[in-house]
């Protein structure tokens, strides 16, 4: 696997990305993250595209992570039942495309100390890449290399 596209295709995880709107309370968002067993939610604002077909798209306006909740709500002693996601979300969202290489995605995550990268294709959110996904891909690559080397050694 060399690109995010290949990684997402090979993944057993569902391709839908969990989303919330900015006025969702932190308490509800945290409950959703626990229910889905995920570490982040995309913060989206719905935009009506075509009134005839009622087709809707949503603009990505932020991301909220477990770390945001811990540092900006729990450690700050804010009430999660009244604090909204819009108040604590990270507004400058780092993203990648399906054609981003795995190495580049890993570099971005390492340099910016993030664990999630939304995948954007032609202005549409099409997936989510996590550090766990990258670790699984790395493990598969290393396992394949070890098998190849063991075969090479045993035949030599």
CATH of 4-155 given 1.10.3720.10, 3.10.400.10, 3.40.50.720, 3.10.580.10: 3.10.580.10
DSSP state of 70: I
**Residue 39: per-residue pLDDT:** 92
**4-8, 48-52, 66-70, 118-122, range with the lowest pLDDT:** 48-52
The model's pLDDT over 93-125, given as tens digits with 9 standing for 90+, comes to 999 999 999 999 999 999 999 999 999 998 889
What DSSP string describes 17-30?
A: --EE-TTSBHHHHH
For the chain, give the mean pLDDT: 89
Q: Where are the domains of the chain?
A: 4-155
| b/e sequence 4-35, b meaning 16+ C-beta within 10 Å | bbebbeebeeeeebeebebebbbeebbeebee
């Amino acid at each position: 696997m060399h690109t995010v596209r290949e990684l997402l295709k090979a993944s057993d995880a569902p391709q839908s990305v969990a989303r919330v709107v900015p006025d969702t309370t932190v308490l509800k968002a945290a409950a959703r993250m626990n229910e889905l067993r995920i570490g982040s939610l995309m913060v989206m604002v719905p935009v009506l595209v075509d009134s005839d077909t009622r087709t809707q798209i949503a603009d990505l306006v932020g991301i909220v992570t477990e770390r945001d909740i811990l540092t900006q709500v729990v450690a700050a002693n804010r009430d999660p039942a009244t604090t909204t996601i819009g108040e604590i979300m990270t507004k400058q969202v780092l993203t990648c495309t399906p054609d981003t290489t795995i190495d580049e995605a890993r570099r971005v995550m390492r340099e910016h100390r993030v664990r999630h990268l939304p995948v954007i294709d032609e202005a549409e959110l099409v997936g989510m890449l996590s550090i766990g996904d990258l670790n699984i891909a790395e493990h598969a690559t290393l396992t394949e290399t070890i098998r190849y080397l063991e075969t090479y050694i045993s035949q030599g």
